[in-house]
Structure 1
Amino acid sequence: MDSDDERDVERASLLSVDTLVEKPRPAASGRPTPLPKLQIAILLGIQLAEPISSMLIFPFINQLVQELGVTGGDDKKLGYYAGIIESMFFIAEAACVFQWGRLSDRIGRRPVLLLGMMGNILAILCFGVSKSYWAVIAARAFAGATNGNIGVVKSVMGELTDATNVAKGFALMPMVWSIGGTIGPFLGGTLSHPYERYPSWFGNNVFWKEYPYMLPCMVAAAYSAIFFTMALLFLQETRPKRTLAGKEYHELSDVPDTPTVIEPSPTDLSDPEAPPSLRSLLRGPILNVVMCYNLLALTEIAYGVLQPLIFATPVASGGIGLTPKDIGIALAVYGFANGVIQANAFSRLLDRFGPKRMFMFGMFALTLEFTTFPVMQTLAQATGGANLAVWIVIVLQFVLGSAISSAYGTVNIFVVSTASRAALGATNGVVQTTTSCARAVGPSIAASLYAWSAEKNILGGWFAFLVFGLMGLVCIYASTRLPATPRKKETKDYDLE
């Protein structure tokens, strides 16, 4: 037992449980606790800002790289440079997100969420006015560094829900991500280059010709500004308030059962509210959850990078030759359909099959995704473009993508259920840091591996798909180590002001 845990045991033994834990307020027998609608709505609105801002670049990222001139006219090198741009967000996020989560444990969730929204607004506007490759990279890095919201949002959702409604609450998160996957690509695909595309509205102002990607960025920033204002006015703090000698206890399961008296160290006495160490956070069942989460993140981000890359690459270079507008509309339709599926089916499927089986099925669907790319490329090359058969394969990809979204919902439930209540923000920060590392290397590895295999014609340019398909099988094996059911929480952990 670590010294922190032993010290908590000694302190807990001096007080009765009634002084530590608020009495449970269970819902009526057999009925779930109602979700706090206003707080959930604001929280999901904050979450929605991230996929909108990050995914609006997907339809035009390859065109942007071409216009910046860094490839020297060689389309086969698009993957290298586009992958670096997409990776920079997650590299910066990995460096900073744990500290944002830890900070939310100390000063509260609300101020960290507000800071993240402000950073999102500034970052997306900087991206819109970037005129060089390095300026684009710097803007993406700034966006990642200020993006502490995703881990904190998960912490707040865990504090707003209990065992009776946690599935319903977390079902909304992949739904919101899907909505962002609808709005973001739609904005990027339809509002980029407005000077040429909509001359009657924007043709009289050379600003839109000089900054062809500023319009979708401005719309995304405006959305973030709206929910920044709503959060500032109406969002309440959910960080648990009840403390014991500087430590927070929220459930009977968090209070040690057997008292053990030890001599506290001088460091313990001098700083009773010292932040938890990484060692104290990452132990026990949470390790298996973190491993599965990282394998999911790495493999899924690779697929997420390869899909628009292959969509945009000309048929002669191994792609299917879709335009940015076609890509934007396709991803938008998928995002909308996926959101509807997650909202209506996730919680019911979770109740029927359980989180472990749903996660494993999502991993199986992710593995199958990579087998669709060679089929799609072969069909496109046979007819010289995206024919009906190609679009059928794209629809199949989108159907499998819905199962992958469900996997994210289930793994988030595992994180909240296995984490210590006293350091939920820090734990989500650690999880988000490790997954950000996976997502940081994923785009560069995926895009570079695809570009290399296409350039060298390794396995007909399909070597990258084989590698990530095998990684999907590793994900399936790792998911067998998850607990059959997450630890249940019977009471809420928060007390809204």
Structure 2
Amino acid sequence: MAKEYKEALLEKHYHEGCPGCKVEKMKEVRRGYPYLELSFIWIVILSTSLPISSLYPFLYYMIEDFGVAKTEKDIGYYAGFIACAFMFGRALTSIFWGIMSDRYGIKPIILLGTVTIAVFNALFGMSTNIWMAIATRFMLGSFNCLLGTIKAYATEIFREEYQATAMSAVSTAWGIGLIIGPALGGFLAQPADKYPSVFSKESIFGRFRYALPCFTISAFALVVTALCCFIPETLHNHKLDNTSDDDSIEVLEAASLESIEKTGNNKKGSLLKNWPLMSSILVYCVLCLHDTAYSEIFALWANSPSKYGGLGYSTNHVGTILTVSGLGLFAFQVILYPSAERLLGAVLLTRLAGALMIPVQLSYPFIALLSGVSRSILLSFASILVNVFSVSAITGMVILQNRAVV
């Protein structure tokens, strides 16, 4: 009753010309599945996740071309610097971009992020030495302001009943991007060697052997930039009313009553003392560390020669396995995850997914002992399971974080 009364009163206080109020009005009258909003979430997350993982299949060969590694065993050492440069830049600036989105709005931050992806990812594809590769990846990570921003945008643009769907879409698109990216890198790297009838050795893609996958992703980012010009802004550009009329007092009382009914108290504690939130953040960090490490190590392991314990796969072979894995992940997240989350709950589903990842990954050394088609099939199946469990656990943590601060 208090909620209905509060909503009825708040409806009178919308401000004309305020983009945030316009979005709130739209959410009130909107009925039906939010396909358009989900589509924007998908393409933005894809644009930010593709450059993160696209280098994995060809990073081994790129470092080899730079000539900095004295032996094949040293390639993994230098690969770590290029791979971590992105995340290091992102870690330094994530909070800053969150502050900027709160101050100036989410839409300009999204547009800035997609534009910088197009620029710095293209420059990375044209790297001629390891220092240029590290610098461009660092800048790409420093301006990668999209993941946290789009999560906040998803909570603001969707009605409450679609919050779980929105968070699932974010995690699913992220996981799919981390699979499609390596597929693009695997199939499009070294095009003059793989497709000599299409790309000559004298062309730009013959001289810059890893530019084609990076240019493809940059072109996609530019398309996303153009489409995101039409997304609504959610920032409220008006100041909080300080009037003391009866309606304002009643609104505050109704809001306070609803808060007490939900939480059982009327005290707002520090976020650092919000144990459900902090614990979910800690688990989320561990899961993301695992997911990133797995994505990088798997590609290096698959590309490495058999004499060093690797599989000796080509970039095309790695790309094929990761593409199959992505299709399996997409099918699970779209068809099965919502039902599994409703049946088991986010906490139990995350626990099961995290526990089941362990035996699957322990099977990899035994799969490597096989050969031929049987090894490829089992490796693809194991890769599907690992990615399904990983993304399911991360999605569960995102849902729990969102619920902990409501």
- TM-score category by the smaller chain? 0.7 to 0.9
2:374 paired residue number: 388
2:400 paired residue number: 414
1:45 paired residue number: 43
Distance in 2, Cα, partners of 1:27 & 1:69: 56
Instruction: Tell whether 2:225 aligns with 1:228.
Output: yes
- 2:364 partner amino acid: F
Distance in 1, Cα, partners of 2:126 & 2:49: 20
Q: Deviations over 1:233-277 (max 9, x none)?
A: x1111235675379xx999479976999xxxxxxxxxxxxxxxxx
Distance in 2, Cα, partners of 1:26 & 1:129: 45
When residues 230 and 355 of structure 1 are mapped into structure 2, their CA distance, relative to the original with a 3 A threshold, is same
Distance in 1, Cα, partners of 2:59 & 2:257: 47
Displacement, 1:336?
1.8
Q: Specify which structure has the higher proportion of helix.
A: 2
- 1:40 partner amino acid: L
1:304 to 295, 308, 319: 295
Q: Deviations over 1:2-61 (max 9, x none)?
A: xxxxxxxxxxxxxx9679955999999xxx963433233122211111222222111111
1:134 to 120, 131, 136: 131
Q: How many residues align?
A: 375
Distance in 2, Cα, partners of 1:90 & 1:254: 43
Q: Deviations over 1:174-207 (max 9, x none)?
A: 3222432343222211111112221121116332
State the SS of the aligned residue for 1:118: helix
- Report which structure shows greater RCO (CA 8 Å, sep ≥6): 1
Answer yes or no: is the 8 Å Cα contact 2:324–2:384 preserved in 1: no
2:52 paired residue number: 54
Displacement, 1:358?
1.0
Instruction: Tell whether 2:378 aligns with 1:400.
Output: no
When normalised by structure 1's length, the TM-score is 0.69
1:13 paired residue number: none
Displacement, 1:324?
0.9
Q: Deviations over 1:72-131 (max 9, x none)?
A: 1x2222221112211110000000011101111111110110111111111101101110
When residues 22 and 400 of structure 1 are mapped into structure 2, their CA distance, relative to the original with a 3 A threshold, is farther
Instruction: Tell whether 2:235 aligns with 1:239.
Output: yes
1:282 to 259, 272, 281: 272
Q: Which runs of 5+ in 2 are unaligned?
A: 13-23, 243-250
2:314 paired residue number: 323
Displacement, 1:162?
3.7
Q: How does 1:38-437 map to 2 (within 5 A)?
A: 38-72=36-70, 74-203=71-200, 205-232=202-229, 234-240=230-236, 244=240, 252=255, 280-284=270-274, 285-377=276-368, 379-380=369-370, 385=371, 388-389=374-375, 391-419=377-405
When residues 230 and 182 of structure 1 are mapped into structure 2, their CA distance, relative to the original with a 3 A threshold, is same
State the SS of the aligned residue for 1:86: helix
Distance in 2, Cα, partners of 1:390 & 1:40: 34
1:484 paired residue number: none
When residues 33 and 375 of structure 1 are mapped into structure 2, their CA distance, relative to the original with a 3 A threshold, is farther
Displacement, 1:387?
5.2
Answer yes or no: is the 8 Å Cα contact 1:128–1:213 preserved in 2: yes
State the SS of the aligned residue for 1:239: coil
Answer yes or no: is the 8 Å Cα contact 2:42–2:173 preserved in 1: yes
Distance in 2, Cα, partners of 1:322 & 1:18: 59
When residues 318 and 125 of structure 1 are mapped into structure 2, their CA distance, relative to the original with a 3 A threshold, is same
Displacement, 1:389?
3.8
When residues 253 and 405 of structure 1 are mapped into structure 2, their CA distance, relative to the original with a 3 A threshold, is farther
Distance in 1, Cα, partners of 2:331 & 2:191: 30
Distance in 2, Cα, partners of 1:282 & 1:167: 24
Distance in 2, Cα, partners of 1:235 & 1:209: 38
Answer yes or no: is the 8 Å Cα contact 1:174–1:408 preserved in 2: yes
State the SS of the aligned residue for 1:201: coil
State the SS of the aligned residue for 1:244: coil
Q: Deviations over 1:219-243 (max 9, x none)?
A: 11110000100111x1111235675
Q: Deviations over 1:445-488 (max 9, x none)?
A: xxxxxxxxxxxxxxxxxxxxxxxxxxxxxxxxxxxxxxxxxx6x
Answer yes or no: is the 8 Å Cα contact 1:174–1:339 preserved in 2: no
2:16 paired residue number: none
Q: How does 1:461-476 map to 2 (within 5 A)?
A: none
State the SS of the aligned residue for 2:161: coil
When normalised by structure 2's length, the TM-score is 0.84
